[in-house]
Amino acid sequence: MNRAELVEKIASSVGLSKAQADTALAATLDAVKKELGGGGSVSLVGFGTFSVSKRAARKGKNPRTGETIKIAARKVPKFSAGKELKMIANGEKKAGAPKAAASKKAAPKKAAAKGKKK
């Protein structure tokens, strides 16, 4: 699935226009990028965690010449799948429809009747 297909899926499942869905996706990805750029992490319960991992300096070989080269230490983005996502990927669970944002407040619970039974 590419970005255009993802935007189309989001738009149809939530009832947004493609432009609105694309804007929402862009804003989500931008927020994740900014958080990772600052060294933080983003955890989405049931889906997974995006984080930054440190990769140590190491030696490598130039495949063309066989010469040993130094590879500098660097930070790399990392994704760890959550339990629910792993279960879906392994066919142990089916992916459900996305839950729409609750626009209504939960109905207040009715007080128990205080009448005596006869």
Give a three-class secondary structure readout of the chain.
CCHHHHHHHHHHHHCCCHHHHHHHHHHHHHHHHHHHHCCCCEEECCCEEEEEEEECCEEEECCCCCCEEEECCEEEEEEEECHHHHHHHCCCCCCCCCCCCCCCCCCCCCCCCCCCCC
Segment 67-98, tens digit of pLDDT: 999 999 999 999 999 999 999 999 988 877 55
Segment 32-64, tens digit of pLDDT: 999 999 999 999 998 999 999 999 999 999 999
